[in-house]
Amino acid sequence: MSADRETTSRVERDVSTEPLYVVRVRDHIDGRIAGHDGCTYVSPPASRESALALVGLLLGSGPRPANGAAAWTHAVPGGRRTITLAPASDRTG
């Protein structure tokens, strides 16, 4: 029984030290076309895998950043959407 506790606590420690990421979304919209000026969204902190899944959902495809950057630009009606992936500890942006 002590081996089970030791394994469980080690797994809990590994999960708790996993870096968390946020997905930031900014829609740059021409209000004359869309009737609004766009919006912004910041996701709750999540694992890198979950954050990239959200990016893929927002893009409508798999997230493939250009030049290794963690930023994507995608056309939306009336403008463009910019999506960035950042460590949750990075409070800027």
Report the alpha-carbon angle 45-19-69, nearest 5.
85
The larger pLDDT score, comparing residue 43 to residue 6, is at 43
Q: pLDDT tens, 66-82?
A: 556 788 888 888 899 99
**Under 8 Å CB-to-CB from 72, ≥6 apart: which residues?**
55, 59, 63, 65, 82, 83, 84
Structure tokens at 8: 């469980």
Residue 9 pLDDT > 80 = no
Full-prediction pTM beyond 0.85? no
